[in-house]
Structure 1
Amino acid sequence: MTRSPVTNPYLLVLPGFLLAAFIILWPLYQLGVISLSEVNRFGQLRGFAGFDNYVAVFTDREFLGALWRTFIWTFGIVFGALIVSVPVALVLNEDFYGRSIARVIVMLPWAVSLTMTAIVWRWALNGESGMLNSGLRALGLIDTNIQWLARASTAFPMQILIGILVTIPFTTTIFLGGLSSIPDDLYEAARLEGANRWQTFRRITLPLMRPFLNIALVLNMIYVFNSFPIIWATTQGGPANSTDILVTYLYKLGFRFGKLGEASALSIMMFALLLAFTIAYVALAMRSERR
């Protein structure tokens, strides 16, 4: 008995799909059980608690602040990286002497541990001996040292800036892949028609790059939303929890305060937020492509 050619691809991907489903769904199930239970700080379930853990998270005054900062953090880094990465990718896509070296230099930060990068930036932003203050004083731009990480008004914007810088290499890589897939014949035809660089970018490059923009947006949104090392390595959510985002707030709930039930409830809520955004954005992107 021979299998239908239509079902063969599904049979081939079935083992991988089942494994991925187990890896994802089993922890979600366990988190769901813990989030609905009364749990001590050692992880022992004490009985059914209903939605008490969810209510405790919602009524915690630190939660709304962390939620709002998470949205600012995510959208600031993602859109900042997109805006910077597009021109960088366009330049690196041009044929010039030393292009390979330039690409390596741009991609190099991607190979460095994010935690190590954050630690280096913490040293650079040190209020007394940091390189940033030293450089600004040498240029005559400041007279006294700025405590970059001691105040929320400067700490959080600097953390967003660090996030943009470390996100550029990955985003640029995606855009370079998209640019390399665009046929050169289209650009040659546009030049023959008298189109300038801006018209070529707006009419050819940007529409054909839209699928890659969608990929970069969704992947970066998921990655940045759950990004932990930058904030934790620089301020640990301080001063006075003023730079906490949901993932650092989650870490404190679970491992500093021992509130594992509330931490599990927050994990489920974060997963639901990301899932809802991803489904909504992909649906809108697919609808716009069909038009």
Structure 2
Amino acid sequence: MASRSASTFSPWLLILPSFALALFIVSYPFFNIVYQSLHEVSRFGVVRDFTGLTNFVTIFSDPVFIETLYRTLIWTLCVVGGTILVAVPTALILSQDFYGRGIARAISMLPWSISLTMTAIIWRWAFNTEFGMVNLGLLQLGLIHEPVQWLADPSLAFPVEILVGILVSVPFTVTIFLGGLSSVPQDIYEAARIEGASSWQQFRKITMPLLRPFINIALVLNVIYVFNSFPIIWVMTQGGPDNSTHILVTYLYELAFRLGRPGEAAAVSLVMLIILFAFTGLYMHIQGREEDQHE
């Protein structure tokens, strides 16, 4: 009996040191952020008087924060949705057997090997008003008659950044979908063709249902990555012009390191955490209901 009890607890004893270390690494910053959000903090990080929920009241009274919160939701929805819409047909094409498929796959994955900061710098140059390749190309094609101020116009800067966000998210998502498509048995398609199913029917009745678990994985991961994506917007416009492209993570950075308001920045970070937790809970609830319906 004693040996059985020892064998039951020995795995837990083996993982206890690493579990304790991981718990400390995760919990210490979290509790530190909570502590700062409830206190007045100087721009140099010195914690002063306890202020309760004052930092939260301040940020929710700031119209820039409300606009940024709404813009963050639009940014996440548009980038993730656009990425899924582009990645699915791209993965379907790259899963076909054609000459040069390996090269095509390598080219499609190349942007993933470059850091987001470098990618954002390249796109900032590309959309430069005076010497950017986008304006030069459109001028040569006769589509525009004068250079467009892509990143200086509030009505254009944010859509441009959404486009860049989609382009940099596609390679990772395509990789997930290619893995899913490679696991689909080809016999199913052969049987469907014999039964007279069209390509659209095969896609709708076979490919999409079998690809759905991988779409769910890509959806969750992309929401987390895009919601917290900092380099694209900060490198291209730094939240400008006139705060028209800020999302929560760039607004948080500006609060903490430019405006010297770490307490309010801590409150913003907790709001971001709550939003991600809410999304995760909603997603798990929807998945649970769908699994119950299938059963």
| TM-score, normalised relative to structure 2 | 0.94
**Matches for 1:100-249 after TM superposition, within 5 Å:** 100-249=102-251
Deviation track 1:158-209 (CA, whole Å, cap 9, x = no partner) reads 0000000000000000111111111112112111211111111111111111
Q: Distance in 1 between matches of 2:202 and 2:168?
A: 29
Q: CA deviation at 1:157?
A: 0.4
**Matches for 1:46-61 after TM superposition, within 5 Å:** 46-61=48-63
User: What is the SS of the residue equivalent to 2:4?
Assistant: coil
Q: CA deviation at 1:282?
A: 2.2
1:64 maps to 2:71:
no
**Matches for 1:243-282 after TM superposition, within 5 Å:** 243-282=245-284
User: How many equivalent pairs are there?
Assistant: 291
* Residue identity in the other structure for 1:98: G
**Matches for 1:93-104 after TM superposition, within 5 Å:** 93-104=95-106
Q: CA deviation at 1:278?
A: 1.2
Q: Distance in 1 between matches of 2:168 and 2:59?
A: 31
| TM-score, normalised relative to structure 1 | 0.95
CA gap 1:12/1:210 in 2 versus in 1, 3 angstroms: farther
User: What is the SS of the residue equivalent to 1:2?
Assistant: helix
Q: CA deviation at 1:230?
A: 0.6
* Residue identity in the other structure for 1:61: P
CA gap 1:178/1:269 in 2 versus in 1, 3 angstroms: same
% identical equivalent positions: 59
Q: CA deviation at 1:7?
A: 7.5
CA gap 1:7/1:214 in 2 versus in 1, 3 angstroms: farther
Q: CA deviation at 1:21?
A: 3.0
* Residue identity in the other structure for 1:72: I
**Matches for 1:12-51 after TM superposition, within 5 Å:** 17-51=19-53
User: What is the SS of the residue equivalent to 2:48?
Assistant: strand
Q: Distance in 2 between matches of 1:185 and 1:132?
A: 46
Q: Which moved more, 1:11-20 or 1:240-249?
A: 11-20
Structure 2, unaligned runs of 5 or more: none
CA gap 1:5/1:84 in 2 versus in 1, 3 angstroms: farther
* Residue identity in the other structure for 2:90: V
Q: Which moved more, 1:182-191 or 1:147-156?
A: 182-191
Structure 1, unaligned runs of 5 or more: none
Q: CA deviation at 1:88?
A: 0.3
Q: RMSD across aligned C-alpha pairs, in angstroms?
A: 1.8
Q: Which moved more, 1:75-84 or 1:25-34?
A: 25-34
CA gap 1:79/1:15 in 2 versus in 1, 3 angstroms: farther
Contact 1:228/1:248, CA 8 A, preserved across alignment: yes
